Protein backbone atom coordinates (compact mmCIF):
# COMPACT_ATOMS: atom_id res chain seq x y z
CA UNK A 1 0.00 0.00 0.00
CA UNK A 2 0.99 3.60 -0.51
CA UNK A 3 1.45 5.45 2.78
CA UNK A 4 0.94 9.21 2.58
CA UNK A 5 1.56 11.57 5.47
CA UNK A 6 -0.78 14.57 5.42
CA UNK A 7 -0.15 17.62 7.56
CA UNK A 8 -0.53 21.38 7.73
CA UNK A 9 -0.73 24.15 10.27
CA UNK A 10 -3.90 25.04 12.10
CA UNK A 11 -6.30 26.83 9.76
CA UNK A 12 -4.47 25.67 6.62
CA UNK A 13 -7.32 23.57 5.23
CA UNK A 14 -5.88 20.13 5.92
CA UNK A 15 -9.29 18.70 6.81
CA UNK A 16 -10.68 19.77 3.44
CA UNK A 17 -7.86 17.92 1.70
CA UNK A 18 -8.39 14.81 3.84
CA UNK A 19 -12.11 14.78 3.05
CA UNK A 20 -11.45 15.12 -0.67
CA UNK A 21 -8.90 12.32 -0.68
CA UNK A 22 -11.38 10.11 1.16
CA UNK A 23 -14.02 10.87 -1.48
CA UNK A 24 -11.55 9.98 -4.23
CA UNK A 25 -10.88 6.59 -2.66
CA UNK A 26 -8.11 6.99 -0.11
CA UNK A 27 -8.31 5.39 3.31
CA UNK A 28 -7.87 8.33 5.69
CA UNK A 29 -6.64 7.70 9.23
CA UNK A 30 -7.07 10.78 11.41
CA UNK A 31 -4.63 10.80 14.32
CA UNK A 32 -6.76 13.32 16.24
CA UNK A 33 -9.74 10.98 16.05
CA UNK A 34 -7.58 8.09 17.25
CA UNK A 35 -6.18 10.22 20.09
CA UNK A 36 -9.74 10.58 21.38
CA UNK A 37 -10.60 6.95 20.72
CA UNK A 38 -7.77 5.50 22.80
CA UNK A 39 -8.95 7.38 25.91
CA UNK A 40 -12.66 6.78 25.41
CA UNK A 41 -14.76 5.68 28.42
CA UNK A 42 -13.97 2.12 29.39
CA UNK A 43 -10.68 2.02 27.47
CA UNK A 44 -7.35 0.82 28.84
CA UNK A 45 -5.91 4.16 27.83
CA UNK A 46 -8.31 6.14 30.00
CA UNK A 47 -7.66 3.82 32.93
CA UNK A 48 -3.91 4.42 32.59
CA UNK A 49 -4.42 8.19 32.35
CA UNK A 50 -6.53 8.23 35.49
CA UNK A 51 -3.96 6.14 37.38
CA UNK A 52 -1.18 8.56 36.41
CA UNK A 53 -2.99 11.90 36.77
CA UNK A 54 -5.70 11.14 39.32
CA UNK A 55 -9.48 11.11 39.36
CA UNK A 56 -9.60 14.89 38.89
CA UNK A 57 -9.05 14.40 35.15
CA UNK A 58 -12.34 12.47 34.89
CA UNK A 59 -15.85 13.85 34.46
CA UNK A 60 -18.67 12.69 36.72
CA UNK A 61 -19.75 10.17 34.07
CA UNK A 62 -16.25 8.67 33.91
CA UNK A 63 -15.20 10.28 30.61
CA UNK A 64 -12.02 12.29 30.21
CA UNK A 65 -12.04 15.92 31.33
CA UNK A 66 -9.82 17.24 28.57
CA UNK A 67 -9.61 20.73 29.99
CA UNK A 68 -8.38 19.45 33.36
CA UNK A 69 -5.83 17.15 31.75
CA UNK A 70 -4.71 19.90 29.39
CA UNK A 71 -4.10 22.28 32.27
CA UNK A 72 -1.74 19.73 33.79
CA UNK A 73 0.25 18.62 30.75
CA UNK A 74 0.69 22.01 29.13
CA UNK A 75 2.24 23.38 32.29
CA UNK A 76 4.50 20.39 33.02
CA UNK A 77 6.84 18.92 30.39
CA UNK A 78 7.30 15.67 32.32
CA UNK A 79 3.55 15.25 32.67
CA UNK A 80 3.20 15.76 28.91
CA UNK A 81 5.85 13.10 28.26
CA UNK A 82 4.07 10.73 30.63
CA UNK A 83 0.80 11.25 28.77
CA UNK A 84 2.52 10.61 25.43
CA UNK A 85 4.05 7.40 26.77
CA UNK A 86 0.53 6.21 27.52
CA UNK A 87 -1.28 7.35 24.40
CA UNK A 88 1.28 7.24 21.60
CA UNK A 89 1.80 3.45 21.60
CA UNK A 90 -1.98 2.96 21.65
CA UNK A 91 -2.44 5.39 18.75
CA UNK A 92 0.38 3.72 16.79
CA UNK A 93 -1.12 0.28 17.34
CA UNK A 94 -4.57 1.41 16.24
CA UNK A 95 -3.09 3.18 13.21
CA UNK A 96 -1.33 -0.02 12.16
CA UNK A 97 -4.55 -2.01 12.59
CA UNK A 98 -6.53 0.37 10.38
CA UNK A 99 -3.80 0.43 7.73
CA UNK A 100 -3.70 -3.37 7.71
CA UNK A 101 -7.47 -3.49 7.24
CA UNK A 102 -7.17 -1.14 4.25
CA UNK A 103 -5.49 -3.80 2.13
CA UNK A 104 -2.42 -3.88 -0.08
CA UNK A 105 -4.00 -2.07 -3.04
CA UNK A 106 -4.87 1.03 -0.99
CA UNK A 107 -3.69 4.60 -0.71
CA UNK A 108 -3.58 5.18 3.04
CA UNK A 109 -3.49 8.83 4.08
CA UNK A 110 -2.36 9.43 7.66
CA UNK A 111 -3.63 12.82 8.84
CA UNK A 112 -1.05 13.95 11.43
CA UNK A 113 -0.99 17.58 12.69
CA UNK A 114 2.47 17.23 14.26
CA UNK A 115 4.10 15.18 11.50
CA UNK A 116 6.82 17.78 10.94
CA UNK A 117 7.40 18.48 14.62
CA UNK A 118 7.76 14.74 15.32
CA UNK A 119 10.09 14.17 12.30
CA UNK A 120 7.84 11.41 10.97
CA UNK A 121 8.49 12.03 7.25
CA UNK A 122 10.78 9.04 6.54
CA UNK A 123 7.98 6.69 7.60
CA UNK A 124 5.86 7.63 4.57
CA UNK A 125 6.26 7.19 0.85
CA UNK A 126 5.15 10.79 0.40
CA UNK A 127 4.50 13.78 2.64
CA UNK A 128 1.77 16.21 1.58
CA UNK A 129 1.61 19.59 3.30
CA UNK A 130 -1.30 22.00 3.05
CA UNK A 131 -0.04 25.57 3.37
CA UNK A 132 -1.51 29.04 3.61
CA UNK A 133 -0.26 32.45 4.67
CA UNK A 134 -0.55 33.31 8.36
CA UNK A 135 -2.97 36.14 7.54
CA UNK A 136 -5.23 33.70 5.69
CA UNK A 137 -5.11 31.21 8.53
CA UNK A 138 -5.91 33.75 11.25
CA UNK A 139 -8.97 34.91 9.30
CA UNK A 140 -10.17 31.32 8.94
CA UNK A 141 -9.66 30.58 12.63
CA UNK A 142 -11.67 33.65 13.56
CA UNK A 143 -14.47 32.69 11.16
CA UNK A 144 -14.64 28.95 11.88
CA UNK A 145 -13.53 28.68 15.51
CA UNK A 146 -14.25 32.09 16.93
CA UNK A 147 -10.64 32.75 17.92
CA UNK A 148 -9.32 36.21 18.55
CA UNK A 149 -6.33 37.43 16.55
CA UNK A 150 -4.07 36.88 19.55
CA UNK A 151 -5.38 33.35 20.15
CA UNK A 152 -4.91 32.41 16.49
CA UNK A 153 -1.39 33.83 16.35
CA UNK A 154 -0.46 32.02 19.56
CA UNK A 155 -1.66 28.67 18.20
CA UNK A 156 0.18 29.22 14.92
CA UNK A 157 3.40 30.23 16.69
CA UNK A 158 3.33 27.02 18.76
CA UNK A 159 3.56 24.87 15.62
CA UNK A 160 6.24 24.26 13.00
CA UNK A 161 7.15 27.14 10.71
CA UNK A 162 6.33 27.21 7.01
CA UNK A 163 10.03 26.82 6.22
CA UNK A 164 10.16 23.65 8.31
CA UNK A 165 7.06 22.31 6.62
CA UNK A 166 8.39 23.09 3.13
CA UNK A 167 11.58 21.20 3.95
CA UNK A 168 9.49 18.14 4.90
CA UNK A 169 7.04 18.40 2.00
CA UNK A 170 7.21 16.24 -1.10
CA UNK A 171 4.03 17.98 -2.17
CA UNK A 172 2.96 21.48 -1.12
CA UNK A 173 -0.73 22.30 -1.66
CA UNK A 174 -1.18 26.06 -1.61
CA UNK A 175 -4.49 27.00 -0.01
CA UNK A 176 -4.45 30.78 -0.21
CA UNK A 177 -7.00 30.68 -3.01
CA UNK A 178 -10.53 29.34 -3.28
CA UNK A 179 -11.84 26.00 -2.09
CA UNK A 180 -12.43 24.96 -5.70
CA UNK A 181 -8.78 25.67 -6.53
CA UNK A 182 -7.64 23.52 -3.61
CA UNK A 183 -9.95 20.65 -4.58
CA UNK A 184 -8.72 20.79 -8.18
CA UNK A 185 -5.12 20.54 -6.95
CA UNK A 186 -6.02 17.52 -4.80
CA UNK A 187 -7.75 15.83 -7.74
CA UNK A 188 -4.65 16.36 -9.88
CA UNK A 189 -2.39 15.01 -7.14
CA UNK A 190 -4.58 11.93 -6.85
CA UNK A 191 -4.74 11.10 -10.55
CA UNK A 192 -1.22 12.04 -11.61
CA UNK A 193 0.85 11.00 -8.61
CA UNK A 194 -0.87 8.99 -5.90
CA UNK A 195 -2.69 6.44 -8.06
CA UNK A 196 0.33 5.79 -10.35
CA UNK A 197 2.63 5.67 -7.32
CA UNK A 198 0.46 3.00 -5.68
CA UNK A 199 0.51 0.96 -8.91
CA UNK A 200 4.29 1.25 -9.23
CA UNK A 201 4.73 0.30 -5.59
CA UNK A 202 2.52 -2.76 -5.86
CA UNK A 203 4.10 -3.97 -9.09
CA UNK A 204 7.72 -3.13 -8.22
CA UNK A 205 7.96 -0.66 -11.10
CA UNK A 206 10.40 2.24 -11.08
CA UNK A 207 9.56 5.64 -12.47
CA UNK A 208 11.53 6.65 -15.54
CA UNK A 209 12.63 9.92 -17.05
CA UNK A 210 11.43 10.74 -20.57
CA UNK A 211 13.89 9.41 -23.12
CA UNK A 212 13.95 12.78 -24.82
CA UNK A 213 16.95 14.68 -23.46
CA UNK A 214 16.26 17.80 -21.40
CA UNK A 215 18.78 19.71 -19.29
CA UNK A 216 17.51 21.94 -16.49
CA UNK A 217 18.92 24.97 -14.79
CA UNK A 218 19.97 24.34 -11.17
CA UNK A 219 16.96 23.82 -8.89
CA UNK A 220 17.48 24.84 -5.24
CA UNK A 221 14.93 22.19 -4.25
CA UNK A 222 17.11 19.29 -5.44
CA UNK A 223 19.15 18.94 -2.20
CA UNK A 224 16.01 18.90 -0.03
CA UNK A 225 14.39 16.33 -2.30
CA UNK A 226 17.52 14.20 -2.05
CA UNK A 227 17.59 14.42 1.73
CA UNK A 228 13.97 13.26 2.02
CA UNK A 229 14.75 10.26 -0.18
CA UNK A 230 17.88 9.50 1.83
CA UNK A 231 15.83 9.52 5.03
CA UNK A 232 13.56 6.83 3.60
CA UNK A 233 16.54 4.82 2.37
CA UNK A 234 18.24 4.97 5.77
CA UNK A 235 15.07 3.63 7.34
CA UNK A 236 14.69 0.84 4.78
CA UNK A 237 18.34 -0.28 4.70
CA UNK A 238 18.77 -0.26 8.47
CA UNK A 239 22.12 -1.49 9.73
CA UNK A 240 23.21 -2.58 6.25
CA UNK A 241 23.74 1.07 5.34
CA UNK A 242 27.11 2.67 6.12
CA UNK A 243 26.95 5.91 4.10
CA UNK A 244 24.17 7.78 2.31
CA UNK A 245 24.90 10.66 -0.06
CA UNK A 246 23.45 12.88 -2.73
CA UNK A 247 25.73 12.54 -5.77
CA UNK A 248 25.67 13.40 -9.45
CA UNK A 249 25.02 16.75 -11.09
CA UNK A 250 21.98 17.68 -8.98
CA UNK A 251 24.29 17.56 -5.94
CA UNK A 252 26.54 20.30 -7.38
CA UNK A 253 25.27 23.86 -6.79
CA UNK A 254 25.14 25.90 -9.99
CA UNK A 255 25.43 22.95 -12.39
CA UNK A 256 22.86 22.22 -15.10
CA UNK A 257 21.50 18.69 -14.98
CA UNK A 258 18.81 16.28 -16.01
CA UNK A 259 15.97 16.41 -13.49
CA UNK A 260 17.00 13.12 -11.88
CA UNK A 261 18.21 12.78 -8.30
CA UNK A 262 21.23 10.47 -8.02
CA UNK A 263 21.94 8.95 -4.62
CA UNK A 264 24.69 6.66 -3.42
CA UNK A 265 24.37 4.16 -0.60
CA UNK A 266 27.58 2.71 0.79
CA UNK A 267 27.47 -0.82 2.22
CA UNK A 268 30.07 -3.20 3.63
CA UNK A 269 29.32 -5.91 1.07
CA UNK A 270 27.04 -6.08 -1.96
CA UNK A 271 26.03 -9.58 -0.91
CA UNK A 272 24.20 -7.96 2.02
CA UNK A 273 22.01 -6.13 -0.49
CA UNK A 274 21.07 -9.38 -2.22
CA UNK A 275 19.22 -10.58 0.87
CA UNK A 276 15.62 -11.24 -0.28
CA UNK A 277 14.17 -9.76 2.91
CA UNK A 278 16.09 -6.51 2.41
CA UNK A 279 15.14 -6.32 -1.27
CA UNK A 280 11.49 -6.75 -0.32
CA UNK A 281 11.80 -4.06 2.36
CA UNK A 282 13.34 -1.70 -0.18
CA UNK A 283 10.63 -2.48 -2.73
CA UNK A 284 7.93 -1.84 -0.13
CA UNK A 285 9.62 1.46 0.74
CA UNK A 286 9.36 2.53 -2.90
CA UNK A 287 12.82 1.58 -4.18
CA UNK A 288 12.60 -1.51 -6.42
CA UNK A 289 15.75 -3.34 -7.49
CA UNK A 290 16.79 -3.01 -11.14
CA UNK A 291 18.47 -6.37 -11.63
CA UNK A 292 19.81 -5.66 -15.13
CA UNK A 293 22.01 -2.81 -13.88
CA UNK A 294 24.79 -4.37 -11.82
CA UNK A 295 27.99 -2.63 -12.90
CA UNK A 296 29.67 0.51 -14.18
CA UNK A 297 32.50 0.77 -16.68
CA UNK A 298 35.34 1.79 -14.37
CA UNK A 299 37.61 4.72 -15.12
CA UNK A 300 40.57 2.44 -14.42
CA UNK A 301 39.65 0.02 -17.19
CA UNK A 302 37.97 -2.50 -14.88
CA UNK A 303 34.32 -3.24 -14.12
CA UNK A 304 32.97 -1.58 -10.97
CA UNK A 305 30.21 -3.72 -9.44
CA UNK A 306 27.17 -2.16 -7.81
CA UNK A 307 23.46 -2.63 -7.23
CA UNK A 308 20.91 -0.21 -8.64
CA UNK A 309 17.50 0.83 -7.32
CA UNK A 310 14.91 3.12 -8.84
CA UNK A 311 12.23 5.25 -7.25
CA UNK A 312 8.61 4.18 -7.71
CA UNK A 313 7.41 7.77 -7.29
CA UNK A 314 6.25 9.10 -10.68
CA UNK A 315 6.69 12.64 -9.41
CA UNK A 316 10.37 12.30 -8.51
CA UNK A 317 12.62 10.19 -10.70
CA UNK A 318 15.62 9.05 -8.66
CA UNK A 319 18.49 6.59 -9.18
CA UNK A 320 20.04 4.84 -6.20
CA UNK A 321 23.55 3.48 -6.75
CA UNK A 322 24.58 0.96 -4.07
CA UNK A 323 28.33 0.38 -3.83
CA UNK A 324 30.75 -1.08 -1.33
CA UNK A 325 32.37 1.55 0.87
CA UNK A 326 35.91 2.42 -0.27
CA UNK A 327 35.45 0.65 -3.60
CA UNK A 328 36.69 2.55 -6.68
CA UNK A 329 33.15 3.34 -7.83
CA UNK A 330 32.10 4.59 -4.40
CA UNK A 331 35.15 6.85 -4.16
CA UNK A 332 34.81 8.18 -7.71
CA UNK A 333 31.18 9.26 -7.29
CA UNK A 334 31.97 11.21 -4.12
CA UNK A 335 35.34 12.64 -5.13
CA UNK A 336 34.05 13.77 -8.54
CA UNK A 337 31.08 15.49 -6.88
CA UNK A 338 33.32 17.28 -4.40
CA UNK A 339 35.80 18.27 -7.12
CA UNK A 340 32.94 19.83 -9.08
CA UNK A 341 31.83 21.69 -5.97
CA UNK A 342 35.33 22.96 -5.21
CA UNK A 343 36.63 23.89 -8.68
CA UNK A 344 34.57 26.50 -10.60
CA UNK A 345 36.68 26.03 -13.71
CA UNK A 346 36.14 22.27 -13.81
CA UNK A 347 32.44 22.77 -13.11
CA UNK A 348 32.08 25.18 -16.04
CA UNK A 349 34.05 22.83 -18.28
CA UNK A 350 31.63 20.03 -17.44
CA UNK A 351 28.62 22.31 -18.02
CA UNK A 352 30.01 23.32 -21.41
CA UNK A 353 30.43 19.68 -22.38
CA UNK A 354 26.85 18.98 -21.32
CA UNK A 355 25.57 21.86 -23.46
CA UNK A 356 27.67 20.78 -26.44
CA UNK A 357 26.30 17.26 -26.35
CA UNK A 358 22.73 18.39 -25.73
CA UNK A 359 22.90 20.55 -28.84
CA UNK A 360 23.60 17.54 -31.05
CA UNK A 361 21.89 14.60 -29.28
CA UNK A 362 18.21 13.98 -28.65
CA UNK A 363 17.97 10.99 -26.28
CA UNK A 364 19.13 10.38 -22.74
CA UNK A 365 20.84 7.13 -23.71
CA UNK A 366 22.90 8.78 -26.42
CA UNK A 367 23.83 11.58 -24.04
CA UNK A 368 24.95 9.19 -21.28
CA UNK A 369 27.17 7.23 -23.67
CA UNK A 370 28.63 10.39 -25.22
CA UNK A 371 29.74 11.74 -21.83
CA UNK A 372 31.92 8.74 -21.03
CA UNK A 373 35.00 9.91 -23.01
CA UNK A 374 34.95 13.21 -21.15
CA UNK A 375 34.75 11.41 -17.80
CA UNK A 376 37.68 9.22 -18.83
CA UNK A 377 39.68 12.30 -19.83
CA UNK A 378 39.27 14.01 -16.44
CA UNK A 379 39.70 10.95 -14.24
CA UNK A 380 43.33 11.69 -13.44
CA UNK A 381 42.58 15.36 -12.73
CA UNK A 382 39.82 14.47 -10.30
CA UNK A 383 42.06 11.89 -8.61
CA UNK A 384 44.91 14.39 -8.38
CA UNK A 385 42.59 16.98 -6.82
CA UNK A 386 41.41 14.46 -4.23
CA UNK A 387 44.98 13.55 -3.30
CA UNK A 388 46.23 17.14 -3.20
CA UNK A 389 43.32 18.36 -1.12
CA UNK A 390 43.45 15.48 1.34
CA UNK A 391 39.90 14.56 0.34
CA UNK A 392 38.09 12.00 2.43
CA UNK A 393 34.47 11.15 3.03
CA UNK A 394 33.12 12.00 6.48
CA UNK A 395 31.34 8.95 7.84
CA UNK A 396 30.11 10.22 11.16
Annotated binding site for ATP: 11-16
**Are the CB atoms for 168 and 126 separated by under 8 Å?**
no
Other CB atoms within 10 Å distance of the CB of residue 172? 17
Cα 138 versus chain centre, distance: 29
Query: How are beta strands 318-324 and 307-310 bridged, if at all?
Result: antiparallel
Return all residues near 84 (Cβ < 8 A) that are at least 6 apart.
Answer: none
Which of 249, 264, 248, 260 lies closest to 211 in space, CA to CA? 260
Nearest to 207 by CA among 189, 192, 219, 221: 192
Cα separation, 41 vs 30, whole angstroms: 19
Cα–Cα distance for residue pair 70/79, rounded to 1 Å: 10
Enter the DSSP assignment of 288. Answer: -
CA-to-CA separations, 45 to 39, 50, 58, 114, 235, in angstroms, rounded? 5, 9, 13, 21, 29
Question: Would you list which residues are annotated within the binding site?
Answer: 11-16
Amino acid sequence: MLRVGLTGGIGSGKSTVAQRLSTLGAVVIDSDVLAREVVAPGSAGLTAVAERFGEDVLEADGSLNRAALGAIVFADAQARRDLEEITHPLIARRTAELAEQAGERSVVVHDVPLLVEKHMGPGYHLVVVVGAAESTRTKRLAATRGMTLEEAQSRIAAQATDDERRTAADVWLDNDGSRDELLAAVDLLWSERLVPFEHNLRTGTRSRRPERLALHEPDPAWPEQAERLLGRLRRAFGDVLVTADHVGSTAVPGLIAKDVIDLQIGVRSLTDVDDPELLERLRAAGFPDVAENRQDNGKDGTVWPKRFLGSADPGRVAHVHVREVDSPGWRWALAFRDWMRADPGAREEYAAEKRRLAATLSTVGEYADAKEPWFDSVHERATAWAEASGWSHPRG
